[in-house]
Amino acid sequence: MTVTRRLGGIVFFLIAATLLQAKGGFLLFSGAPLTQPVAIATPEQLVRFNRSGQIRLRQPDAASLMGRPYLEVGFYFGPAWETFFRDGGRVEDLRPEKADSRGRFYPARGSEPAILEIPGSKQPYMSLSDDGLQLLRDLGVPVRIGP
């Protein structure tokens, strides 16, 4: 993998995280085994998640993701979502299909690392830093499934 491709993936992630932070955006994790959606939405959480942009990139074998458990990740950004919350909207009222962009989070399993998939980026598969994984743990998002 070239340095340019690696930097391209990091830049996309940092731009997405910065947009989420600056434009009232957030990330929403949903799907089993979560019983309710989990959002990274407060300014403090977004700053911490943005800092976790110091990531280790991984390009998994596509076959290794087949059948692997995952959570849906919605990327919401822009003034409409800021208004949504300001007007009393709740995380529970959101629908993943309304996200501005959608991806997947594959929790770690066995020797396989946790992977964040952001379709459409030059480097769509990323592994979050330990701090990023700890933030997800703190919010109740499983970062490991199985042994």
| Averaged pLDDT, 60-89 | 83
Question: pTM here?
Answer: 0.76
Q: Looking at residue 104, what is its pLDDT?
A: 93
Q: Across the chain, what does the average pLDDT equal?
A: 76
Say if residue 3's pLDDT is above 50: no
Confidence of residue 9 (pLDDT cuts 50, 70, 90): very low
Contacts of 136 (CB under 8 A, 6+ apart): 29, 105, 128, 143
Give the chain's count of helices (H) and strands (E). 5, 7
Tell me how far apart the alpha carbons of residues 68 and 123 are, in angstroms, rounded to a whole number: 20
On whether the CB atoms of residues 116 and 128 are closer than 8 A, the answer is yes
- Of these ranges, 23-27, 54-58, 59-63, 114-118, the one predicted with the greatest mean pLDDT is 114-118
Q: Looking at residue 15, what is its pLDDT?
A: 43
Q: Looking at residue 122, what is its pLDDT?
A: 75
Say if residue 119's pLDDT is above 70: yes
